[in-house]
């Protein structure tokens, strides 16, 4: 994979996006509920949440493909709520790519420029620049149907940036790719966004994608923003029980208070020595499963009335086996507690 290192000849002018009090219903179903969000110019923001949380509807409202029942959409301070999609300086890359199969790569990329009446000479230069930015400099004459999924996604990106929009919207653009290609494209997409400096809003259900790509993440639930923050904020300092349970993996551990206590698997230590009595913040159990997960191993331990999941580094130290008696322990500083009945 070749990483992008050069800035484009002419970078677009980024815009600040402001959503204020957005609301949208479909019959009796609330899709977006009093959502307010500001995305500074040049920032990369990801909307992340379960199916039906309102993230795609929010993106469609921003794109001009849906009208809110209430609220406003502002672009650098200008109210564009009633402006039609084709008149907004906003481009969207969809999961389906939405390429024209009867056109070659260059003509697909050139389409928005032709719609705007850009001269042929200028079109040729801009198309060449856009294809170079997505690492397809020699693909202009190829039919899009002859390209791989990853290459087609690059063409869709080139078409979205060819006329230098103020805002780029990404609607799960990498979800159809296999894991290794998706990870490679994530790196290239982030570098491209940084090189362009374009304000970018991504909708994704892939937590790893959101955590690795975005400057800030909006965790959505029932049409509302549960938390807005960096990857470290939402992962290490969840603002609600929903965020804590939704982002990453958690173990629920017993507590003497009327509270829900959670700890992440990577913070659970698994010891093979159970000769001494168990101390506070530790519990003995029997290993029920061990599986390899890349650079770590996942160990499932049945401890009395609960099963704990631990992520143990594969650093050469001996791992427990199924049936072994082990001791699970944790640092209380890593425990997150929420009141019973919290959401």
Digit-coded pLDDT (tens) for 292-336: 988 999 999 999 889 999 999 988 888 899 999 999 999 999 999
Q: How far apart are CA 144 and CA 147, in angstroms?
A: 5
The sign of the dihedral angle between the CA atoms of 153, 165, 36, 244 is positive
Res. 2: pLDDT tops 60: no
Q: Of 121, 111, 157, which is closest to residue 136 (Cα–Cα)?
A: 157
- For residue 3, name the pLDDT band (cuts at 50, 70, 90): very low
Location of structure tokens 């699970």: 328
Beta carbons within 8 Å of 341's beta carbon, 6+ residues apart = none
- For residue 14, name the pLDDT band (cuts at 50, 70, 90): confident
Q: How far apart are CA 326 and CA 341, in angstroms?
A: 32
Tokens encoding 226: 């549960």
Digit-coded pLDDT (tens) for 113-169: 998 889 998 999 999 999 998 889 999 999 999 998 888 988 999 999 998 899 999
Q: Of 267, 269, 309, which is closest to residue 288 (Cα–Cα)?
A: 309
Q: Whats the size of the chain, residue-wise?
A: 343
Domains of the chain by start residue, with CATH: 17-242 (3.40.50.300), 251-339 (2.40.50.140)
**Extended strands (E) in the chain:** 17-26, 29-39, 44-48, 70-75, 78-79, 90-94, 167-171, 199-204, 216-221, 224-229, 251-253, 259-263, 269-271, 282-293, 296-303, 306-313, 325-329, 336-339
Report yes or no: 226 and 242 within 8 Å, Cβ to Cβ.
yes
pLDDT, mean over the chain:
90
Digit-coded pLDDT (tens) for 48-79: 999 999 999 999 999 999 999 999 999 999 99
């Amino acid at each position: 994979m070749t990483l992008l290192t050069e800035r484009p000849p002419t970078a677009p002018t980024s815009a600040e996006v402001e959503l204020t009090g957005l609301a949208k219903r479909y019959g009796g179903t609330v899709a977006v509920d009093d959502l307010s969000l500001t995305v500074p110019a040049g920032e990369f923001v990801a909307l992340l949440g379960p199916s039906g949380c309102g993230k795609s509807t929010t993106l469609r409202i921003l794109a001009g493909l849906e009208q809110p029942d209430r609220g406003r959409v502002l672009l650098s301070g200008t109210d564009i709520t009633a402006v039609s999609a084709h008149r907004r300086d906003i481009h969207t890359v969809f999961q389906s790519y939405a390429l024209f199969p009867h056109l070659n790569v260059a003509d697909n990329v050139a389409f928005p420029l032709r719609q705007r009446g850009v001269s042929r000479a200028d079109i040729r230069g801009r198309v060449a620049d856009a294809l170079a930015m997505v690492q397809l400099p020699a693909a202009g004459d190829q039919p899009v149907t002859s390209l791989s999924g990853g290459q087609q996604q690059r063409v869709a990106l080139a078409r979205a940036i060819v006329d230098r929009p103020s805002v780029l919207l990404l609607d799960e653009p990498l979800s159809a790719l296999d894991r290794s290609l998706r990870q490679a494209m994530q790196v290239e997409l982030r570098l491209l966004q940084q090189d362009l400096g374009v304000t970018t809003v991504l909708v994704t259900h892939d937590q790893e994608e959101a955590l690795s790509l975005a400057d800030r993440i909006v965790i959505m639930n029932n049409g509302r923003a549960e938390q807005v923050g960096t990857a470290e904020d939402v992962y290490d300092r969840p603002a609600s029980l929903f965020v804590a349970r939704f982002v990453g993996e958690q173990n629920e551990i017993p507590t003497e208070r009327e509270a829900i206590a959670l700890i992440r698997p990577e913070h659970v230590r698994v010891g093979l020595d159970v000769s001494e009595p168990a101390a506070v913040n530790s519990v003995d159990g029997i290993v029920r499963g061990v599986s390899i997960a890349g650079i770590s191993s996942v160990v499932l331990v049945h401890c009395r009335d609960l099963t704990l999941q631990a992520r143990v580094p594969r650093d050469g130290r001996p791992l427990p086996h199924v049936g072994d008696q082990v001791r699970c322990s944790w640092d209380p500083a890593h425990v997150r507690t929420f009141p019973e009945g919290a959401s």
